[in-house]
Amino acid sequence: VVRVQRKIAVVGTGYVGLTTGACLAAIGHHVVCADIDAGKVSRLRAGQVDILEPGLAELVRRGLDAGRLEFVVGAPAAIHTDTEVLFLCVPTPMGADGSADLRAVESVLREVGDLLPEDCAVATKSTVPVGTADRLSRMVNAPIVANPEFLREGSAVDDFLHPDRIVVGSSDRPAARRVGALYEPLQAPTLILDAASAEMVKYAANCFLAVKLSYVNAIAQLCDRVGADVVAVTEGMGYDPRIGRSFLKPGPGWGGSCLPKDANALVHVAESVGLEFPLLRSAIEQNARQQADVLDRVRQACDGTIRGARIGLLGLAFKAGTNDLRDSPAVRIADALVAEGAEVTAHDPAISGELSGIRLVDDPYEAVKGAVVVIVLTEWPEFRTLDWTRVAELMDGFTVLDTRNLLDGDPLTRAGLTWRGMGRPV
């Protein structure tokens, strides 16, 4: 039951901003979303969503039809005299020194600072370093509320509508409560905190996940060398509720638009206050080693030299269910192979177009044709059911390197292929 309908402005229509806007409209609020990209705004007005996010396009269209969701060009156009909360959802990319680049956030605030009605709260959704709320407070005469999101790409709508928790933090507690109240229909535990703690929750959570994955990737490498099976090992670990079953899958390294950026930023935050964070640093280093390990395996399968070898890649997105290539381990590996002189052909069910140095094809069988090695880099379920006999006929070599432990090895072996997982016994 929706008790209040609030007037909300959302600036930035990337996957966080658009999900936030469409979902807030779906739970009854009136939302105006702004973006500087006029082409994108007109596509959104027509109900066209560029990003692949299950359920999002439908929510956008429903919001438009219900008159609760609008799209405008430029942040100032989103602010009205009755706007109650402004959400900042613009990118905070990693700057040259690893710190988060806040220029987009600050430039929006400069644009709208004088337009904000009294009592309008500014909520930061973009992941911003601890202390940002205070810093922004000095720029505008409005309460700043840190309201980190915990959305995973590929399940952002579902995560938004069924949150584990809502975190809001501000030195202005009533403003934090007003922002928290927007989510009341979702009936999630709501933490009203100070701004620094709210900002810290996000980094601490994402970096914990990064450390967990680096740990599991290192365990997988160890399993390989001692002849243990990482699938069995992580199952055995996961029964312990203190560890949990999720986020224990080894892979080609962790990537995406969040984990690498946040891990680097938190190391930077720590250094800026005179603290080393060797644990997190080594999680980042381990992630690079994971990629080097994949390349070593490819080299072995190519009899020592990658130069001139034809290599087929299955998957390029940083994880299945998205078409996002940002900081994708698959792309890093593809680039490294190209740099070593390989001829790389890739197929990803969600990606088409041009990629420099790589031949991108629409058909998985085209990607494996003539390949000495095939590497599975994204865990798309459709790769499981490929016709491996056909793959074997098309390939020039035998090795299928399954960096996601996605495939069932038996059909590959029957087809005469050599299947290699990560941390799986041969």
- Residues that bind ligand UGA in the complex, under the rule CB under 6 A: 127, 149-153, 206, 209, 213, 247-249, 251, 254-256, 258-259, 318-319
Q: Is 366 annotated as a binding residue?
A: no
Residues designated as active site: 258
Instruction: Quote the CA–CA distance of 253 and 332 in Å, as a whole number.
Output: 10
Q: Is 403 annotated as a binding residue?
A: no
Between 151 and 294, name the residue whose CB sits nearer to ligand UGA: 151
Q: How far is the CB of 173 from ligand UGA (least distance, A)?
A: 24
Q: How far is the CB of 250 from ligand UGA (least distance, A)?
A: 7
The separation between the first and the last C-alpha atoms of the chain, rounded to the nearest angstrom, is 55
Q: Are 193 and 171 in contact (CB under 8 A)?
A: no
Cα 379 from chain centroid (whole Å): 15
Q: How far is the CB of 377 from ligand UGA (least distance, A)?
A: 10
Q: Is 151 annotated as a binding residue?
A: yes
Between 18 and 372, name the residue whose CB sits nearer to ligand UGA: 18
**3-state secondary structure at position 188:** coil
Q: Is 125 annotated as a binding residue?
A: no
Residue 151 is classified by DSSP as: P
Instruction: Quote the CA–CA distance of 251 and 317 in Å, as a whole number.
Output: 13
Q: Is 40 annotated as a binding residue?
A: yes
Between 68 and 202, name the residue whose CB sits nearer to ligand UGA: 202
Between 255 and 312, name the residue whose CB sits nearer to ligand UGA: 255
Between 345 and 403, name the residue whose CB sits nearer to ligand UGA: 403
Residue 339: both structure tokens together: 């740099």
Instruction: Quote the CA–CA distance of 7 and 244 in Å, as a whole number.
Output: 39
Between 112 and 284, name the residue whose CB sits nearer to ligand UGA: 284
Instruction: Quote the CA–CA distance of 396 and 128 in Å, as a whole number.
Output: 48
Q: How far is the CB of 402 from ligand UGA (least distance, A)?
A: 13
Closest CA to 125 of 90, 160, 154, 153: 90
Instruction: Quote the CA–CA distance of 124 and 88 in Å, as a whole number.
Output: 5
Q: Are 128 and 199 in contact (CB under 8 A)?
A: yes
- Beta strand 373-376 pairing with 359-360: unpaired
- 3-state DSSP of 350-371: CECCCECCEEECCCHHHHHCCC
Q: How far is the CB of 137 from ligand UGA (least distance, A)?
A: 23
Q: How far is the CB of 63 from ligand UGA (least distance, A)?
A: 22
Q: Is 202 annotated as a binding residue?
A: yes
Type of residue found at 212: K
Q: Are 104 and 91 in contact (CB under 8 A)?
A: yes
Q: Is 7 annotated as a binding residue?
A: no
Alpha-carbon separation of residue 151 from 160, 163, 340 (angstroms): 6, 9, 36
What is the b/e burial string over 354-392, where b = at least 16 CB atoms within 10 angstroms of the residue's CB? Answer: ebeebebbeebeebbbebbbbbbbbbbeebeebebeebb
Q: Is 152 annotated as a binding residue?
A: yes
Residue 229: both structure tokens together: 């099976």
Between 13 and 206, name the residue whose CB sits nearer to ligand UGA: 206
For the chain, what is the radius of gyration of the CA atoms?
23
Instruction: Quote the CA–CA distance of 389 and 408 in Å, as a whole number.
Output: 14
Q: Is 160 annotated as a binding residue?
A: no
Q: How far is the CB of 238 from ligand UGA (least distance, A)?
A: 11
Q: Which residues are annotated as a binding site?
A: 35, 40, 92, 127, 150-153, 202, 247-251, 255, 261, 319, 326
Q: Which residues are annotated as a binding site for NAD(+)?
A: 35, 40, 92, 127, 153, 261, 326
Q: Which residues are annotated as a binding site for substrate?
A: 150-153, 202, 247-251, 255, 319
